[in-house]
Structure 1
């Protein structure tokens, strides 16, 4: 049975992203539930599923990531959208009917990246390979605050 979502420190995911032997969507998955705030940068390998579409797409996500050992969720700060989306995902995956229909047998960890993408950006914006499609201009406000 899937666990309930728990928080993970960004360093845990950073190590996976930088590990050349690990492959997104096989060894781990990242679901970025930001809406328009996805534009301007994201964690490499992240799939954007806006939180307001989670109920419509959760079945597809559970199916797509059925055999992935760990799934990370985040939004901008991982205070509302990320945790709520992770909960919806877990409830759907843990549903006995879903498990039976998809023949889910493996356990899966579901985690929420602490401090979301804003925390990730603050920590890793200067590190090579940790932010994809980065548009510095969009993040100038955040850089000025730090």
Structure 2
């Protein structure tokens, strides 16, 4: 019979263990504030979008996503931070809003990693924010939120309530 230490060592480390622990504090943004930002853009072609929503889900990418989000699975994020930053900077973004299912794991980790990167390059004009409650909180918050989702699947979110 295997000892507890042998079982622990046989368990693979989580994917994020290969990367440094983030030093920055996680700053969140409420879904109400993001909703208002999206509604301000709705139908206004002359409005400049200075934020991006980043859905970090990979294997659990189901039930829909917040309209206009890009999908960057968290597992590939850390090594690509310099490229992602360059793209976001060239686009003139001021806020990068990260989320996963709940924004307590991947969302928080990505938010802090990107904040660390912003500090390392001395960029004080861009913010790294975690969407409070993640996509699950968004999808279960009511019709005005669901109306701003692509590929919404009610059956998936009914299980999450």
Q: TM-score range by the shorter chain?
A: 0.7 to 0.9
Tell me how far apart the structure 1 counterparts of residues 156 and 102 of structure 2 sit (CA, whole Å). 16
Match of 1:32 among 48, 51, 55: 55
C-alpha root-mean-square deviation of aligned residues, in Å?
Answer: 2.1
Which one has more relative contact order, counting CA pairs under 8 Å at least 6 apart?
1
Whether 2:109 is the aligned partner of 1:71: answer: no
**Shift, 1:89, TM fit:** 1.2
The two structures have a TM-score, normalised by structure 1, of: 0.78
Report 1:52-131 matches (<5 A). Answer: 52-66=75-89, 67-96=92-121, 107-124=125-142, 126-127=143-144, 129-131=147-149
Deviating 4+ runs (over 3 angstroms): none
Tell me how far apart the structure 1 counterparts of residues 95 and 126 of structure 2 sit (CA, whole Å). 5
Tell me how far apart the structure 1 counterparts of residues 136 and 62 of structure 2 sit (CA, whole Å). 13
Note the alpha carbon deviations across 1:47-95, whole angstroms, 9 max, x for none: 1111111113222211111120111111111111101011111222322
Tell me how far apart the structure 2 counterparts of residues 4 and 93 of structure 1 sit (CA, whole Å). 13
Match of 2:72 among 49, 53, 57: 49
Note the alpha carbon deviations across 1:16-46, whole angstroms, 9 max, x for none: 11122445xx411111111222232001111
Q: What's the counterpart of residue 11 of structure 1? A: 32
Q: How many residues align?
A: 131
- Structure 1, unmatched stretches of 5+, are none
Whether 2:161 is the aligned partner of 1:140: answer: no
Tell me how far apart the structure 2 counterparts of residues 36 and 134 of structure 1 sit (CA, whole Å). 17
Tell me how far apart the structure 1 counterparts of residues 149 and 120 of structure 2 sit (CA, whole Å). 34
Residue pair 2:28, 2:131 contacting (<8 A) in 1 also: yes
- Structure 2, unmatched stretches of 5+, are 1-23
